[in-house]
């Protein structure tokens, strides 16, 4: 997985164009996958309580999102306000949220246009560029503990979706909702372990 903490937000001049031209290439994820090899993330000892994570990350700008389907890891990079960060004087307040093992992953990206709203579909690998088009928009609403969206509530279909047949990854839910200009993004994930990392990879809280 490319570390989304490698850049401030990864936005490029072509990011929005990539979103606009992304329709028609949605890919199914987690098709009965099982991780192989050592996982690059920690374990239960590094787990953070979602309620505590909410106090840090709630309403924070979202700088990046990336999914590693091989290890069933979702990474999100957020930058909490100084008054929410455990170290308000930190020169770099970016936090990497790691959610694993992911069992359910749903993303809907819509764009408003002269002919109404349309669903944008894109390959999993393009999620990084799609999120950069939101230019660090703040997450809206609670991040943790929300129910899976009802069919049709985020549009007639999903831009990306996947479910694992493994029995784990069901204990915690994450919902990220972003809006910027004519774009709207909704993401839902179900998983077991939540970690928060500093830019240097060390645990933010435990």
The domains of the chain are located at: 8-32+43-148+155-197
pLDDT of residue 46: 79
Helices (H), 69-126: none
Helix or strand (DSSP H, E) at 127: helix 127-132
pLDDT tens-digit readout, 138-192: 999 999 999 999 989 998 899 999 999 999 999 999 999 999 999 999 999 999 9
DSSP state of 45: G
Question: Residue 58, exposed/middle/buried by CB under 10 A (0-12, 13-18, 19+)?
Answer: middle
Question: Whole-number mean pLDDT of the chain?
Answer: 82
pLDDT of residue 115: 87
pLDDT tens-digit readout, 72-84: 999 999 999 999 9
pLDDT of residue 44: 66
pLDDT of residue 26: 26
The end-to-end CA distance of the chain, in Å, is 23
Helix or strand (DSSP H, E) at 16: helix 15-20
Residue 3 pLDDT level (bands cut at 50, 70, 90): very low
Structure tokens at 29: 């994820």
């Amino acid at each position: 997985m490319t570390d989304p903490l490698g850049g401030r937000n990864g936005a490029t001049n072509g990011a929005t164009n990539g979103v606009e031209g992304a329709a028609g290439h949605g890919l199914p994820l987690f098709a009965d996958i099982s991780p192989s090899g050592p996982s690059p993330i920690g374990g239960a000892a590094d787990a953070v309580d979602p309620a505590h994570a909410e106090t840090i990350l709630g309403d924070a700008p979202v700088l990046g999102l990336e999914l590693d389907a091989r290890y069933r890891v979702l990474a999100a990079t957020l930058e909490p306000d100084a008054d929410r960060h455990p170290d308000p004087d930190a020169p770099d307040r970016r936090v990497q949220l790691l959610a694993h093992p992911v069992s359910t992953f749903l993303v809907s990206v819509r764009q408003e246009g002269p002919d109404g709203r349309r669903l944008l579909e894109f390959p999993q690998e393009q999620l990084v560029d799609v999120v950069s088009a939101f230019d660090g928009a703040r997450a809206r609403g609670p991040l943790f503990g929300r129910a899976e969206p009802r069919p049709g509530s985020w549009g007639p279909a999903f831009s990306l979706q996947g479910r694992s047949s493994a029995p784990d990854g069901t204990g915690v839910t994450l919902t990220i909702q972003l809006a910027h200009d004519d774009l709207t993004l909704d993401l839902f994930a179900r998983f077991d372990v939540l970690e928060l990392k500093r830019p240097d990879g060390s645990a933010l809280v435990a």
